[in-house]
């Protein structure tokens, strides 16, 4: 009998906890993924000099570049409201040219990251670029 009351008490406690837990709605912004957080660090290290801390192409080197660095906060708007994840990945990677994107001033980060890994670690390069792509998704429309 005592075990039954204990079991009912546990079930009741779990039910109360679940009922009082906050729910996430579509109106609440999602927390950045750990990949996006790593991407923010990578962006600070590799991209801010040209694209600026605001990702709008306002970095300290931007005035010396032709063409000017892109405003990376408008990628979704310029793509009809859909974040162009694959195209962003390819432009950052740079090893496969994307018509009308990238150029002589845009480093081929895929080769740079591969060389800095000290090995032929394409998976590590992919993760690093994915982190940048995820971070850039968080700055759209800002």
Going from the C-alpha of 41 to that of each of 53, 81, 96, 129, 132, the distances in angstroms are 11, 26, 24, 12, 9
Q: Is 4 within a domain?
A: no
Q: What CATH number does residue 70 fall under?
A: 1.10.760
Counting the structural domains of the chain, the total is: 1
Going from the C-alpha of 79 to that of each of 8, 13, 47, 127, the distances in angstroms are 54, 49, 21, 24
Q: Is 14 within a domain?
A: no
Q: Is 24 within a domain?
A: no
| pTM given for the model | 0.71
Report residues of the chain scoring pLDDT below 70.
Answer: 1-32, 98-105, 117-119
Q: Is 21 within a domain?
A: no
Q: Is 104 within a domain?
A: yes
Q: Is 113 within a domain?
A: yes
Q: Is 41 within a domain?
A: yes
Write down the pLDDT at residue 140. Answer: 95
Task: Please say whether the beta carbons of 125 and 59 come within 8 A.
Answer: no
Write down the pLDDT at residue 30. Answer: 45
Residue numbers of the domain that contains 89: 33-138
Write down the pLDDT at residue 91. Answer: 92
Q: Is 85 within a domain?
A: yes
């Amino acid at each position: 009998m005592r075990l039954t009351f204990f079991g009912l008490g546990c079930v009741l406690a779990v039910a109360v906890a679940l009922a009082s837990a906050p729910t996430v709605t579509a109106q609440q912004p999602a927390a950045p993924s750990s990949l996006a957080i790593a991407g923010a660090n990578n962006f600070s290290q590799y991209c801010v000099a040209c694209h600026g801390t605001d990702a709008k192409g306002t970095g300290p080197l931007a005035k010396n570049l032709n063409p000017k660095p892109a405003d990376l906060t408008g990628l979704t708007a310029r793509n009809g409201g859909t974040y162009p994840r694959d195209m962003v990945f390819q432009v950052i990677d740079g090893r496969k040219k994307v018509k009308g994107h990238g150029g002589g001033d845009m480093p081929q980060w895929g080769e740079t990251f591969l060389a800095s890994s000290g090995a032929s670690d394409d998976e590590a390069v992919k993760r690093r670029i994915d982190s940048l792509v995820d971070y850039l998704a968080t700055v759209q429309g800002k």
